[in-house]
Amino acid sequence: MDICVLSEKTFAHGSFFLNARPVGGLRMIDGLQADDKIIAVLESDLAYGQLKNIGDVPSGLVDRLRHYFLSYKQLPAEAPRKVEIVDVYDQAEAMDVITRSLMDYKQKFG
């Protein structure tokens, strides 16, 4: 599961734990597989910490996230990838996606 955490802070790498709150997500299809991207905010972040739902995130930022996730895997020398974002969903749906992902993980790995 991929989680993009909005924050005013700069992080040099991703190998650490933090407290983040999901606010929504992007229902992404990569090839023929679901590849949802959860959008969360860093708890107590000065710029984003007060956001509760995807509707609170500035629309321009959601557009930038959509563009990034549609293009970040595409290498210049490769054939175009079949990637699409079919929905932008709210905090309740994001929590459901996370819950189902945890259930899938437990079923597969115990």
CA–CA dist 23, 5 (Å, integer): 10
Q: How far apart are CA 28 and CA 74, in angstroms?
A: 15
Give CATH superfamily name and number for 2-109. Inorganic pyrophosphatase (3.90.80.10)
Active site residues: 35
Rounded CA-CA distance 53/58 in Å is 11
Nearest in space to 26 (alpha carbons), one of 73, 99, 88: 88
Tell me the whole-structure pTM to 2 decimals.
0.90
Residue pLDDT, tens place only, 40-90: 999 999 999 999 999 999 999 999 999 999 988 777 888 778 889 999 999
Give CA separation, 31 vs 72, 83, 85, 103, in Å: 14, 6, 11, 23
Longest dimension (CA), the chain: 42
